[in-house]
């Protein structure tokens, strides 16, 4: 478009003005809006009152409004300048100010004189430049922009304190504004009426996005650029649909593509380049993640990253496990689920049969009497029935100690350790597979927080540290290996989840939501190394069992299959909340972690026979919460029933989560736990 749209080809610009004319970089891609505006302005330029000189560009941040305004400067051959409006802007910012000028030789007040300094608006107006007015909708005083109304007339003028300035025939104003953001106000009607051409700026078509990204970043992988564009488009649409104030625009897309082009991981860099620019609110981030997962984009990002890594490193060997347990190397067979991919790391040059100069010859002590190596079973050990019975007895004894001296002392109590069935296992795996994409993403974002809690230096000769030291990889008994986290340092958080198993929980999908929340919480906590308790409770199952607790998951348990018992959570009878809180809170206090978080999922206020209800029950719960808060436990209540106001009064409004959509409960609880890290 060189010289095609020049408005005044015979005009002679000064050297300073030539410097202000924007120069299009090689990466600039002309848009349909740019060509449309240029054609309209050029067509009407010599038509007197039909001349187009006032242009409005309205759209989301990052949609290219300022880039387009600068491009028009280059197309029209006009010097470019701009002003950025702010809330407390007044008429002096629009027109200019009279300011004192001191003499160069002294500072005597008698020598002070005053001079009028025109604003950037006046300079552009008088000299015939292209002026961009950014975000005039944030100005609080509507009268400020009224000062420009007469100036925007084709033959308008501005009254200054010292003179009257007439509009230069080449002066063009481009107003750029966002839509509906914080501080936004409708554009003054009189000013909007004086606009002769307006453009609604949205994300450009996908093909244009990819073309611009390739031109600006030099990255040529069309498949990846297409995937990133689809992600940006989905995030932008999701943010708008859910009233999330942030925006995913072209700027985010370009900088994300540039980061990926320089080796950044696709999925990890998305958070820093796109999502965290939209919002950092955990609930809103979950909404965005769920939208990406629903469209399969999360999985595609992972697959694209895996493919890119494999293409960059061809040293990959696959081992396949046959039905009889033997390994063999070779091509992957269709449907082979037992393939194990081994990849040489970037710093693993050379061969395994080459000895290191600093290596120390060692010989395993795990040999039998005949010198043959002894192989150790790596599968988790299951406790014996005797061990299970001893642990269950211990829990019951501790529970009875917890209620001594309280109004629950005479209540007959049993703590159960439910056994998981094969059906429980299958159901757990099925439900976990649906939740794992969100959980894994939260684990990936949380683990860096835990890394900062570990030792940053490696002490030679010790069994811990963060720096690999080859000659200290094993202790003298050759059995214990270096760990990244020192044994004395653990995540500073322990979590207890209490689930109300009263009969009313069977209504409206509450139990299903509670089970999914328990799965999500367990998988997240175990993935981050956070000790976790998950208990359920009910009351009045029988006269000899007035209070029943179900220890589904306990951080002191050695049973690797206990998580499957979570599928046995069900609605049973009444609920004696204060007693359950006391017992589980005492159990949580035994954790060594500094921060102890107790989350209670309940759909109603406490009620148990014969008289544990009303003011008595509420007072007991408040007293229990106060007692254990003094001991350092943080309480949160997830209210999922009709008695939300009562639960809020008991736990405190600031400690109550009003879960309107039960489908959001699992992710919401996991996000909350991540905050306490």
Q: What is the 3-state secondary structure (H, E, C) of 294-331?
A: HCCHHHHHHHHHHHHHHHHCCCEEEEEECCCCCEEECC
Q: Which residue has the tokens 């796109």?
A: 274
Asked if pLDDT for residue 201 goes beyond 70, the answer is yes
| Separation between Cα atoms, residue 195 and residue 145, nearest integer Å | 13
| Predicted local distance difference test score (pLDDT) of residue 539 | 93
In this prediction, residue 465 carries a pLDDT of 44
Average pLDDT over residues 418-441: 83
pLDDT band (50, 70, 90) for residue 362: very low
What is the crossing angle of helices 297-312 and 222-241, to 10°? 160
Residue 357 reports pLDDT greater than 60: no
**CB under 8 Å to 367, separation ≥6 — which residues?**
373, 374
Computed over every residue of the chain, the mean pLDDT equals 78
Q: What is the mean pLDDT of residues 42-50?
A: 87
Q: Is residue 72 left, alpha or beta, with left meaning phi > 0 and alpha meaning psi from -120 to 50? A: alpha
Position 475 scores a pLDDT of 43
Over residues 537-543, mean pLDDT: 90
Q: Which pLDDT score is estimated for 450?
A: 52
Closest CA to 24 of 212, 253, 260, 210: 212
pLDDT higher than threshold 60 for residue 369: no
- Asked if 670 and 438 count as a contact pair (C-beta separation under 8 A), the reply is yes
Contact 80, 21 (CB under 8 A): yes
Do 290 and 241 contact (CB within 8 A), yes or no? Answer: no
> How much is the pLDDT for 443?
67
What span, in angstroms and rounded, lies between the C-alpha atoms of 287 and 243? 11
Q: Would you call 16 exposed, middle or buried from its count of C-beta atoms within 10 A (0-12, 13-18, 19+)?
A: exposed
3-state secondary structure of 113: strand
Is the confidence at residue 507, as pLDDT, over 90?
no
Asked if 178 contacts 60 with a C-beta cutoff of 8 angstroms, the reply is yes
Whether omega for the bond prior to residue 610 falls within 30 degrees of 0, making it cis, is yes
pLDDT value for 179: 67
What would the pLDDT profile of 295-350 be if each residue is shown by its tens digit?
899 989 988 888 876 665 544 444 444 444 444 444 444 444 444 444 444 444 44
Q: What's the confidence (pLDDT) of residue 209?
A: 86
Strand partners, 551: 535
pLDDT at 541 over 50: yes
pLDDT, tens digit, 9 for 90 and up, residues 56-108: 988 877 678 888 899 999 999 999 999 888 888 887 888 888 888 766 665 55
| Interval 623-644 mean pLDDT | 85
pLDDT of residue 239: 83
Question: d(Cα 643, Cα 161) in Å, to the nearest integer?
Answer: 67
More confident residue, 265 or 492: 265
Q: Give pTM, 2 decimals.
A: 0.43
- Residue 72: predicted pLDDT: 92
Choose between 120 and 103: higher pLDDT: 120
CA torsion 537-539-543-545 (nearest 10°) is 10
Averaged pLDDT, 470-486: 44
d(CA 374, CA 369): 10
Dist. CA 664–CA 290, nearest whole Å: 10
Of 340 and 282, which is predicted with more confidence?
A: 282
CA dihedral defined by 329, 333, 339, 344, rounded to 10 degrees?
Answer: 50
CB atoms closer than 10 angstroms to residue 418: 17
Residue 259 above 70 pLDDT?
yes
Q: What is the pLDDT of residue 589?
A: 93
How far, in Å, CA of 595 to CA of 673, rounded? 11
Q: What percent of the chain has pLDDT over 90?
A: 22
Is 50 exposed, middle or buried, given 0-12, 13-18 or 19+ CB atoms closer than 10 A? exposed
Residue 670 banded pLDDT, cuts 50, 70, 90: low
Is residue 494 within a helix (H) or strand (E), and if so which, with residue range? strand 493-500
Segment 219-236 mean pLDDT: 91
Provide the strand spans (E) within 543-664.
545-553, 595-602, 633-639, 656-658
492 burial via Cβ count (<10 Å: 0-12, 13-18, 19+): middle
What is the per-residue pLDDT for 270? 92
pLDDT of the residue at 348: 43
C-alpha pair distances (Å), 582 with each of 319, 407, 521, 577, 658: 52, 11, 21, 9, 23
Instruction: Label residue 442 by pLDDT band (50, 70, 90).
Output: low
Q: What is the mean pLDDT of residues 542-564?
A: 91
Which stretch of DSSP H or E encloses residue 583? helix 577-589
Residue 424 has pLDDT above 50, yes or no: yes
Phi, psi of 603, deg, nearest 5: -110, 0
pLDDT on residue 551: 95
For helices 250-261 and 206-217, the axis angle rounded to 10 degrees is 50
Q: What confidence score (pLDDT) does residue 38 get?
A: 92
Q: What would the mean pLDDT of 198-212 be, rounded to a whole number?
A: 84
- Count of Cβ atoms closer than 10 Å to residue 221 Cβ: 15
Say what the pLDDT of residue 311 is. Answer: 64
What pLDDT, on the 0 to 100 scale, is given for residue 441? 64
Instruction: Write down the pLDDT at residue 157.
Output: 81
Q: Which residues pair with 176 in a beta bridge?
A: 57, 134
For position 487, what pLDDT does the model report?
44
Helix, coil or strand: residue 40:
helix
Predicted pLDDT of residue 111: 67
**What pLDDT sits at residue 160?**
83
Bigger pLDDT: 533 vs 28: 533
Report residue 364 as tokens: 């395993």
Contact 409, 559 (CB under 8 A): no
How far CA 64 is from CA of 261, 270, 516, in Å, comes to: 22, 20, 43
| pLDDT higher than 80, residue 435 | no
Highest mean pLDDT among 26-35, 269-278, 489-498, 658-667: 269-278
Residues 6+ apart with CB under 8 A from 121: 83, 94, 95, 131, 133, 148
Could you give the residue ranges of the DSSP H alpha helices within 344-462? 385-402, 422-451
- Report the distance separating Cα 467 and Cα 239, nearest Å: 42
Q: And the tokens for 150?
A: 């007469």
Residue of 537 and 672 predicted with greater confidence:
537
Contact 414, 392 (CB under 8 A): no
Helices (H), 81-205: 91-95, 120-127, 142-149, 189-193
């Amino acid at each position: 478009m060189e010289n095609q749209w020049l408005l005044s080809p015979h005009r002679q610009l000064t050297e300073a003005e030539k410097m202000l004319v924007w120069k299009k970089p090689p990466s600039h891609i002309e848009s349909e809006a740019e060509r449309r505006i240029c054609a309209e302005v050029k067509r009407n330029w010599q038509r007197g009152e039909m001349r187009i000189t006032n242009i409005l560009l309205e759209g989301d941040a990052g949609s290219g409004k300022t880039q387009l305004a600068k491009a028009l400067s280059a197309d029209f051959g006009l010097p470019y300048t701009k002003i950025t409006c702010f809330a407390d802007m007044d008429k002096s910012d629009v027109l200019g100010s009279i300011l004192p000028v001191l003499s160069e030789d002294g500072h005597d007040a008698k020598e002070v004189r005053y001079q009028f300094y025109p604003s950037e608006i006046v300079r552009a107006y008088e000299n015939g430049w292209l002026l961009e007015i950014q975000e005039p909708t944030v100005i609080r005083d509507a009268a400020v922009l009224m000062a420009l109304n007469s100036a925007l007339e084709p033959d308008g003028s501005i009254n200054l304190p010292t003179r009257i300035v007439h509009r230069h025939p080449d002066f063009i104003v481009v107003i750029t504004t966002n839509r509906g953001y914080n501080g936004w106000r409708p554009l003054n009607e009189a000013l909007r009426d004086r606009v002769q051409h307006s453009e609604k700026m949205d994300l450009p078509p996908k093909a244009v996005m990819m073309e611009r990204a390739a031109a600006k970043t030099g990255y040529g992988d069309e498949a990846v650029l297409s995937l990133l564009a689809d992600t940006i488009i989905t995030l932008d649409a999701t943010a708008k649909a859910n009233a999330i104030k942030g925006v995913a625009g072209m700027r985010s897309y370009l900088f994300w593509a540039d980061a990926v082009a320089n080796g950044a991981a696709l999925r990890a860099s998305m958070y820093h380049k796109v999502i965290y620019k939209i919002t950092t609110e955990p609930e809103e981030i979950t909404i965005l993640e769920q939208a990406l997962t629903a469209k399969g984009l999360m999985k595609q990002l992972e697959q694209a990253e895996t493919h890119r890594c494999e293409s960059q490193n061809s040293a990959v060997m696959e081992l396949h496990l046959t039905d009889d347990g033997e390994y063999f190397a070779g091509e992957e067979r269709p449907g082979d689920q037992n393939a194990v991919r081994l990849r040489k790391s970037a710093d693993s040059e050379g061969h395994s049969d080459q000895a290191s100069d600093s290596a120390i010859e060692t010989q395993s002590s795990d040999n039998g009497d005949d010198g043959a190596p002894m192989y150790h079973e790596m599968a988790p050990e299951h406790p014996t029935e005797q061990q299970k019975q001893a642990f269950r007895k211990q829990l019951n004894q501790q529970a009875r100690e917890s209620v001594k001296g309280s109004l629950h002392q005479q209540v007959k109590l049993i703590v159960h350790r439910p056994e998981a069935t094969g059906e429980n296992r299958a159901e757990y795996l099925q439900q976990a597979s649906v939740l794992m994409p969100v959980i894994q993403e939260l684990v990936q974002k949380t683990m860096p927080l835990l890394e900062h809690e570990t030792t940053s230096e490696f002490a030679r000769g010790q069994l811990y540290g963060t720096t690999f030291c080859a000659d200290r990889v094993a202790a003298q008994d050759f059995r214990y290996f270096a760990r990244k986290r020192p044994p004395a340092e653990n995540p500073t958080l322990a979590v207890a989840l209490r689930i109300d198993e009263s009969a009313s929980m069977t209504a409206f999908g509450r139990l299903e939501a509670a089970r999914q929340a328990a799965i999500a919480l367990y998988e997240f906590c175990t993935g981050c190394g956070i000790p976790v308790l998950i208990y359920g409770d009910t009351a009045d199952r029988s006269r000899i069992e007035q209070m029943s607790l179900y220890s589904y998951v306990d951080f002191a348990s050695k049973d690797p299959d206990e998580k499957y018992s979570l599928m046995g959570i069900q609605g049973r009878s009444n609920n004696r909340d204060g007693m359950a809180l006391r017992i589980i809170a005492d159990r949580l206090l035994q954790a060594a972690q500094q921060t102890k978080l107790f989350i209670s999922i309940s759909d109603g206020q406490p009620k148990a026979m014969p008289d544990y209800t009303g003011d008595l029950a509420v007072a007991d719960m408040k007293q229990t919460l106060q007692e254990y808060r003094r001991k350092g436990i943080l309480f949160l209540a997830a209210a999922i029933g009709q008695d939300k106001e009562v639960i809020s009064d008991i736990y405190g409004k600031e400690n109550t989560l009003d879960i309107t959509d039960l489908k959001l409960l699992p992710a919401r609880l996991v996000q909350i736990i991540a905050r306490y890290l």
